[in-house]
């Protein structure tokens, strides 16, 4: 069994909830295709990198999309949650992402405090608004 493959317990929990279409060409092994889908979702790899042991990547991709559109994934996740008596935690990757600059930040926290006093005089480097383009006559 691969790293991301379904356990026997999980497979038995979701097997009755899979679509069953007896007409037409028989489907390839559902468990193998599901394991391929879970491998892609858990590893974050592109579909092109799917290992051959899960079958053709187009089959796995098409099954994922068809089941997504048909709402099969909702039923499967409900079945897994029910099998574990509601003791399942799922984390969406969008809530654990780090900003690109946060990944290489230096250790520790530095806090800069800037205080502006009321009635503070203007900085000395500012040009005077009363000076009008000429030189001073006091030499």
- Identify the domain containing residue 37 by its residue range: 8-91
Q: What average pLDDT does range 7-30 have in this prediction?
A: 83
Q: Is residue 57 part of a domain?
A: yes
CB 61 within 8 A of CB 33: no
Q: Can you read off the two tokens belonging to residue 40?
A: 């892609």
Entry pTM: 0.59
Residue 15 has pLDDT above 80, yes or no: yes
Q: Is residue 51 part of a domain?
A: yes
Q: Is residue 125 part of a domain?
A: no
Distance of alpha carbon 134 from alpha carbon 139, whole angstroms: 14
CB 14 within 8 A of CB 79: yes
Q: Is residue 74 part of a domain?
A: yes
Distance of alpha carbon 72 from alpha carbon 64, whole angstroms: 9
Distance of alpha carbon 127 from alpha carbon 19, whole angstroms: 78
- The pLDDT, as a whole number, for residue 18 is 86
Distance of alpha carbon 54 from alpha carbon 103, whole angstroms: 33
Mean pLDDT in the chain? 75
Closest CA to 19 of 74, 60, 72: 72
Chain centroid to CA 98: how far? 10
Residue 121 has pLDDT above 90, yes or no: no
Domain count, the chain: 1
What digits encode the pLDDT tens for the residues 38-88?
Answer: 899 888 889 999 999 999 999 999 999 999 998 888 888 888 888 877 666
- The pLDDT, as a whole number, for residue 101 is 59
- The pLDDT, as a whole number, for residue 78 is 81
Q: Is residue 106 part of a domain?
A: no
């Amino acid at each position: 069994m691969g790293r991301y493959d379904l356990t026997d317990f999980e497979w038995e929990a979701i097997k009755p909830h899979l679509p069953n279409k007896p007409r037409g060409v028989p489907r390839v092994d559902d468990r193998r295709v599901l394991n391929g889908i879970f491998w892609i979702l858990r590893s974050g790899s592109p579909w092109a990198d799917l290992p051959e042991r899960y079958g053709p990547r187009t089959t796995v991709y098409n099954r994922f999309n068809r089941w997504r559109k048909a709402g099969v994934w909702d039923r499967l996740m409900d079945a897994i949650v029910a099998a574990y008596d509601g003791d399942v935690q799922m984390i969406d990757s969008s809530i654990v992402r780090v900003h690109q600059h946060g990944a290489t930040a230096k250790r520790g926290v530095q806090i800069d405090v800037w205080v502006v006093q009321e009635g503070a005089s203007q900085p000395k480097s500012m040009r005077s608004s009363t000076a009008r383009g000429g030189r001073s006559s006091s030499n």
